[in-house]
Each structure stands twice: as C-alpha cells, then as structure tokens.
Structure 1
Amino acid sequence: MRCIIGLAVVAATMAVPAAAQRPGDAIAGLWMNPYNSVAVRAGDCGSKLCGWVAWANAEAKSDAREEGVDPLIGVALLQDYQPSNASNWSGTIFVPDMDRHFSSTITLLDRDRLKVKGCLIGGFICKSQVWRRIEHLPDA
C-alpha cells in the first residue's frame, strides 16, 4: 500500500510543472519586427495568446495615425491565438497601418525567432515576417 501511495505522490509532483506551463509560455515576452519599428509584448489573454504594441518608432506611429489608430502603444496586434501544436498557433493579426485584421499563424522557429504570417482571401495571399526576441524595449 505504501508503494502505491508513494507512486501517487511522485506522479502528482511530476504533473505539477507540466500543468503549470501554459501553451503560450514559449512565446511570452518581447518581440521586435524585422524593420525594428515595432516591439510587441506577447502573453496570455484569458486562455489564449495575444500581443500588444509595447514600443513603436515615430514612423510606425505616424503610419498608424494616418489610418485612425492612435495611440499605437497598447494596441493588440496578435489576437486570440490558440495552439495548433507545440510550435504553431493560429489567430488573428491586426495591421494598424492598414486598419485591417487578417487570419494568422505564428510558428516558433527557435527560442529567439518567431515566424508571423498573415493571410487574406482564404489563405491564398499571405505575407510573413520573422520577429526576434528582445530582452528590453529600445530607448524612446
């Protein structure tokens, strides 16, 4: 009987770390687009993954403002992503300088690189970018 109880305790303690890790944990953090114009802070939004503009350069702010998106800081670019598997998520991306939403996928290439892809017309026309992880926001 003690052996069964001991195994149950070991199994329960092993399950805790796995349960504590949420699907978006690998993507949580700060990411910079390839143009170094926008930084996004990714993290949980309920049971899904989202990402908000944490920093933008003057040109990105101006482009967004021309489309009626002002202020740009705090806008949710990555919306309602759900995991497809361990390294892929599906959701919606908002493009402020177009004031449009597109279906999107995120692929974790490695710990420090994400491929963000947005598509329209049922996935026939797509554009992707590789974002890189950053440790802190650029100076204003």
Structure 2
Amino acid sequence: MKSFFATTLAVVALAGTAYAADPAEGTWKTQVDDGAYAHVNMKPCGAAVCGTIARTFNDTGEYQSENIGKTLVIDMVPQGGGAYEGKVWRPSNNKVYIGKMTVSGNVLKLSGCVAGGLICSKQSWSRVK
C-alpha cells in the first residue's frame, strides 16, 4: 500500500511539473516590422511573463541590433485560456503600448494599443522552440 501511494504521489508531482510551464514560455519569431524581425525569449517574471530580444535579423541575415537584451513584452499577466494582458514596447518608435497576447499551440498573437484600445497594431509570432 505504501508503494502505491508513493507511486501515485510521484506521478502527480511529475504531472504538476509538466503542467506548470506557461504556454508562452520559449523562443518566438516576430513578424517583420520596419524591415527587421527578432527572436524573443519569453520567460516568467514574477507572476507574469516577459519577453527579451535575443537575436535580430534583416534582409541580409542576422545582425547585432542595439535592442538585443531589451524587454519587448512587459509583465504579461495570464488571464486564463491562453490570454494575457500587460505592455508591449515597439523599438522602432521607442513607445510602450497597452498589450494583449494570446497563445494557441505554436502561434502567439500580440497586440499593442493606444487610446484605451481604440487603435491597435497586431502581429502573429511563430514558436522557434
């Protein structure tokens, strides 16, 4: 009986560990914006998820942008069902917007809005890993 409970506890603990990873975690490829795109590493930051620019690319290939290491996705708090709310920084104009994000499988949809959400810009990102 002891071994049954120990085995059950181990299975539950492993399932909990596998389930604990946030679906937004990983590396994502942005859409092209102003002639360039990036790989963004999404990781937990407190109770939220944040994304940092890891690599940058343009039409000639990978290049060393001054934005590498900067936070692009800021404090995205899970709302349930793959939805998040937080902020988004747009490097091309150095502005921070009200952000919303949804993750479904290997697709991340991100929007940055102004004027209380009346004017928004959207992108779809694909999972790199």
Cα pair 1:81 1:90 within 8 Å, conserved: yes
Shift of residue 50 of structure 1? 0.4
Match of 2:51 in 1: 51
2:20 maps to amino acid: R
Paired positions, count: 120
Maintained 8 Å contact 1:42/1:49: yes
Cα gap change, 1:134 to 1:92, in 2 (>3 Å): same
Match of 1:129 in 2: 123
Matched, 1:104 2:96: no
CA-based RMSD of the aligned residues comes to 2.5
Question: Given residue 22 of structure 1, which amino acid in structure 2 is its aligned partner?
Answer: A
CA distance in 1, matches of 2:53, 2:109: 17
- Letter aligned with residue 48 of structure 2: K
Q: Percent identity?
A: 24
- The whole-number CA distance in structure 2 between the counterparts of 1:13 and 1:133 is 31
State which structure, 1 or 2, has the greater radius of gyration over its C-alpha atoms: 1
Aligned-residue offset at 1:15: 4.9
Gaps of 5+ in 1: 60-69, 136-140
Bigger strand fraction: 2
User: Unpaired segments of 5 or more residues in structure 2?
Assistant: 60-64
Q: Which runs of 4+ in 1 moved over 2 A?
A: 12-24
**What secondary structure does 1:16 align onto?**
helix
Kept in 2: contact 1:93–1:118 (CA 8 A)? yes
TM-score, with length taken from structure 1: 0.72
When normalised by structure 2's length, the TM-score is 0.77
Give secondary structure in 1 for the equivalent of 2:31: coil
Instruction: Kindly indicate which of the two structures has a greater share of residues assigned to helix.
Output: 1
Check whether the contact 1:82–1:91 (CA below 8 A) recurs between aligned residues.
yes
Alignment-mate amino acid for residue 78 of structure 1: V
